[in-house]
A and B are shown apart, each in its own frame.
Chain A
Amino acid sequence: MTDALALAPVETVRPKYIGKPVQRLEDPRLLAGAGRYTADIQLDRMLHLAFVRADQAHAEIRAIDTNAAAAMPGVVAVLTAADFADVADLVATSRMQTYNATHCPLLARDRVRYVGEAVAIVVAADRYRAEDAAAAIAVDYAPLAAAIDPAAALAPGAPQLHPEVPGNLVLEREFRTGDAAAAIAEAAHVVEGTFRLARKSPLAIETRAYVADYDRGRDAITLFSSTQIPGVVRDALASLLHLPGNRLRVVAPDVGGGFGGKGSLYVEEVIVAALARRLERPVKYVGDRLEDLTSTSQGFDEVVEARLGLDAEGRFVALEAEVIGDIGAYSIYPWTAALEPVQVVSFLPGPYRIAAYRGRVRAATTPKPPTGPYRGVGRPMAVFALERLVDMAAVRLGLPPDEIRRRNLVRPEDFPFRIGSGIRWDRSGFLECLDAASVAADLTEFRRRQAEARAAGRWLGIGFASYAELTGIGSRIAVAPGMPINTGSETATIRIDATGAVTATFAMASHGQSLETTLAQIVAEELGVRPQDVAVVQGDTDAAAHGTGTYASRSAVIGGGAAIRATRTLLGKVKAAAALLFDVDPAEVETGDGVIFVPGTNHRIDFADLARAVYSDMAALPHDARATLEAQESFDPRLGTTTSATHLAEVEIDAETLAIRLTRFFVAEDCGRMINPLVVDGQVHGGVVQGIGVALLEELQFDETGQILSASLADYLIPTAAEVPSLGVAHLETELPANPGGFRGMGEGGTIGAPAAIANAVSDAVAHLGVGVATLPITPSKLARLLADNEKE
């Protein structure tokens, strides 16, 4: 059962834990129902919040009648925007030119800008009474004109959503290398299309939840938050509530998934923290699923109009794109609305050699919930658009889908390679991943099966998607352009206490990524203890001076790098102290599985012995050698590291019902050195299945007035086990990146490649009917419409 944990101690070679399928240290408590999620927290005298939320997309608030609610049993307070006049609006600033920030009030003031926006609050003795009273609050709205569609919002004369955002244009940006228009005009072949990924929900199974405790004696707040970014939340709260960080603690306890949806600051967490202090009592708010689908940040929602020019041999010569992003009602804090749409044009040229590129993005504010980070950020859209164009080009030139990619991928000798948007790819297994997928695909055999099935009324299709992503991004590249926070570094503090126990402290915040295990593996291997001997502390702002959290595939690379550096420094102290005890040179001391020894001698103590000698035994070591067994080191990779993959999908479509069944999915990826292959597989599987949702199921739908039409899990569908085939994953390790562990980030890749691969597979399956997929998700009814429209033409 504990195969990897129970490796026999080895005297001369320290046991290796990095790269082993070590069983997770967080599992026993989560499996036994003994985890502690925010909603599980109950405090004495705790009050409960219920929100009244806008039921109109764009309207003026004429009046709010709270009298009946305030008089109801158990109600402690009813609050509206006027009650938070002392708290500033959330404003995501940026150094980017051509960016207009929005002002997001804690509660809607004068105007509501999306269905789901918080308008009023009831504070009551329990949630049931809070909701009773919330239902008794009457808000008088006067509807305002609204441009729901992003292109309409950018058209001259469109109704304005924010006075501070002229023309509803939140930002505009263009990347340009060479003369793409001229190159396309002269290209032997040009393929083009307009591609769209529907707006979607990150949809963690745990909804957002916040509990604030107030310490009357210290005038201090502890906010328990289901967040990915406790450090960002703490820093923002300090400035919004005018409290120093040493009286403001943000704890992310066990967090039930995030996927980006818990990666921004929310008005609800500011409100919960502010009210706990104002009322001098603990305050709790747990969002329900309707609130999650309407007020948690949403993903994607871009239209990409793109053209790819090729020479006669199928080599890409130029790419041009016009992108419109629908960012919703507010530019999200701290990332800004630039995060998702700008990354679409940043990553659009993908892993290919394309000499000329022009990509322009404009982001429109519309009366819908704000968009924010979602697993893959920008890249799922970019990869979907480009990989569709690549397959369209392959069909045009009569090339197999793997061959056209092989002719154009950045080759090993080309690295480092700068793409047209300025992103630099380092050596990663671009071609190696394609080759592995190509072997797995066995195209000759597939085409035979496809022809056979087609004759029998079943449409089979195969699709590739190759991509590269930047992960573990350092401080020279902001995660979002021009934003005012540093996401590029991490600090690790590793301590051996007086009992010999090891604690490793980080500012990151695991919400399923297994950091308590993977970071323990790193520290254990470097220090010479067992993973289960290392307690990892994270998700608590009191434990670290600065840090942002866990997102953007950064924790293994940056946090892991800091862990290696700090542990090596600590190991130096361990060896120095042990060398004095053994009366040998420090270089002769070795450690492994909790033992400190000199090979070939009987010098052998454990970490508890060493700790006793250093901390408690006043005679064992000279006074000046009793240095605390603690080390702190930071790591900033400066740039990012390149992770690459090729995804392969096979679908089968029932010619009669048009039901689309995913029959096979295979991933070949290069994430560098794996810390824990079980965990890597789990991340790939989970990412791919979210990508399957993007491709075939998930869509937040809004009507022409901005009402959300898919606000329950009966209307917003995500994949279940039954829709998902068995997933195959091949890990390739080419040249390791030049960071302390040789790690590349890999938490998002599954979601980046899968939508494109499935879109290509569906397009391949219906290619004989003259249609292709340009909008995801593709569903049987949408496919029926495509075929019907095509027949009309």
Chain B
Amino acid sequence: MSEIDITLTLNGEEVRARAEPRMLASDFLRDRLRCTGTHVGCEHGVCGACTIRLDGVTARACLLFAAQLDGARVDTVEGLGTVRNLHPIQEAFRRHHALQCGFCTPGFLMTVAEILETHPLRTDEEIRDALSGNLCRCTGYEHIVRAVRDLVDARDGVTA
């Protein structure tokens, strides 16, 4: 199968690579662009581990073709913070022990980045609903909810 050129803005940087039109965006990000922070857990859009932001909106990279990234602005976990300078969302996850094996975590971080911008998240129930598209098998979600609650309080200027 012939390959096509794909140009996108990945975490603020313009990148270009070639891929077969049928290649999944998740494989393209991981194997071609070597950004392996986006994980693949089911390849049928349920688990949310591959959640990225496509032009600012969360999307499942496993349900997109690489070709659909052409010309788009794509944000992945690598764009949040670095090991030596974590993003506040990452800091909150660490503070609350909101990750164990860490495999689902990049997807959660991308979802949380979006819902903090778009959702009021007034109650823990609203937080749980907003997170329900991402599966975690280690934490039981309790600490993730607490981390998000902290972030919402910081966003809203509430002192706990």
Contact = CB atoms under 8 A, between A and B. Distances in A.
Contacts of A21: 97
Contacts of A689: 139-141
Interface stretch (A339-347, A591-599, A713-721): A713-721
A748 to B, nearest CB: 13
Interface in A671-689: 678-679, 681-682, 684-689
Given A31-B81, A513-B100, A726-B145, 14 more contacts: A27-B93, A30-B99, A32-B86, A33-B36, A35-B37, A42-B34, A256-B101, A678-B96, A682-B140, A682-B143, A685-B143, A689-B140, A690-B140, A714-B44
Nearest to B35: A33
B102 A35 contact: yes
Contacts of A750: 140
Nearest to A715: B46
B117 interface: no
B103 A32 contact: no
26 contacts: A23-B97, A27-B94, A27-B102, A31-B81, A31-B105, A33-B77, A33-B78, A36-B36, A40-B30, A204-B101, A205-B103, A205-B104, A206-B39, A206-B101, A206-B103, A207-B41, A254-B102, A514-B100, A678-B143, A682-B138, A682-B139, A685-B143, A686-B140, A720-B128, A721-B129, A721-B134
B43 A32 contact: no
Nearest to A132: B1
Residue with the greatest number of chain A CB neighbours at <10 A, chosen from B34, B44, B93, B144: B44
B124 interface: yes
A722 interface: yes
B160 interface: no
Contact of A203 (B38, B81, B137): B137
B94 A720 contact: no
Interface string B33-65: 011111111111011010000000000000000
Interface string B10-52: 0000000000101100010011001111111111101101000
A512 interface: yes
B121 interface: no
A726 B142 contact: yes
**Main DSSP-derived SS at the B contact region:** loop
A443 to B, nearest CB: 25
Return the 9 tightest CB-CB contacts between A and B, nearest first: A33-B37, A256-B103, A30-B102, A685-B140, A512-B101, A689-B140, A512-B100, A33-B77, A713-B46
A29 interface: yes
Contacts of B103: 37, 204-206, 254, 256-257
Given A289-B43, A682-B138, A32 B95 contact: no
A9 to B, nearest CB: 23
Nearest to A293: B42
Given A512-B101, A713-B135, A33 B143 contact: no
A205 B62 CA distance: 14
Given A128-B22, A688-B140, A712-B46, A256 B39 contact: yes
B135 A718 contact: yes
A24 interface: yes
Nearest to A684: B140
Nearest to B82: A32
Given A42-B31, A205-B49, A712-B44, A257 B95 contact: no
Interface of A: 1, 21, 23-24, 26-37, 39-40, 42, 127-128, 203-207, 254-257, 259, 286, 288-289, 511-514, 678-679, 681-682, 684-690, 712-714, 718-722, 724, 726-727, 750
Residue with the greatest number of chain B CB neighbours at <10 A, chosen from A259, A685, A687, A727: A685
A722 B129 contact: yes
A289 B41 contact: yes
Contacts of A1: 91, 95
B116 interface: no
B41 A31 contact: no
A580 B97 CA distance: 43
Contact of A205 (B23, B47, B91): B47
B151 interface: no
Residue with the greatest number of chain A CB neighbours at <10 A, chosen from B41, B101, B135: B101
A722 B132 contact: yes
Contacts of A206: 39, 41, 101, 103
Given A24-B97, A713-B46, A31 B102 contact: yes
Given A256-B101, A718-B135, A31 B36 contact: no
A32 B90 contact: yes
Contacts of A286: 40
B101 A255 contact: yes
A33 B106 CA distance: 6
Contacts of B20: 128
A722 B128 CA distance: 5
Given A254-B102, A686-B137, A726-B124, A32 B143 contact: no
B8 interface: no
B101 A721 contact: no
B69 interface: no
Contact of A259 (B83, B94, B137): B137
A155 B83 CA distance: 60
Contacts of B46: 712-714
Residue with the greatest number of chain B CB neighbours at <10 A, chosen from A35, A255, A288, A513: A35
Residue with the greatest number of chain A CB neighbours at <10 A, chosen from B23, B91, B102, B134: B102
A289 to B, nearest CB: 4
Residue with the greatest number of chain A CB neighbours at <10 A, chosen from B36, B82, B131: B36
Contact of B128 (A254, A681, A721): A721
B97 A678 contact: yes
B37 A32 contact: yes
B74 interface: no
A720 B132 contact: yes
A515 to B, nearest CB: 11
Given A1-B95, A42-B31, A205 B41 contact: yes
Nearest to B91: A1
A712 B90 CA distance: 30
A686 B131 contact: no
A721 B102 contact: no
Interface in B102-136: 102-106, 109, 124, 127-129, 131-136
A678 B97 CA distance: 7
A32 B77 contact: yes
Contacts of B91: 1
Contacts of A714: 44, 46
Contacts of B23: 128
A293 to B, nearest CB: 10
Contacts of A35: 37, 102
B39 to A, nearest CB: 7
Given A24-B94, A207-B41, A30 B105 contact: yes
Residue with the greatest number of chain A CB neighbours at <10 A, chosen from B27, B42, B135: B42
B141 A721 contact: yes
Contacts of B106: 33
Contacts of B39: 37, 39, 205-206, 256
Contact of A289 (B30, B31, B44, B131): B44
A718 B136 CA distance: 9
B80 interface: yes
A685 B146 CA distance: 13
Contact of B47 (A31, A42, A255, A713): A713
Nearest to B89: A31
A319 B101 CA distance: 40
Nearest to B96: A678
B102 A512 contact: yes
Given A27-B94, A205-B49, A718 B137 contact: yes
B157 to A, nearest CB: 19
B119 to A, nearest CB: 13
Nearest to A712: B44
A712 B27 CA distance: 20
A353 B110 CA distance: 52
Contacts of A690: 137, 140
A699 to B, nearest CB: 16
Contacts of B41: 205-207, 289
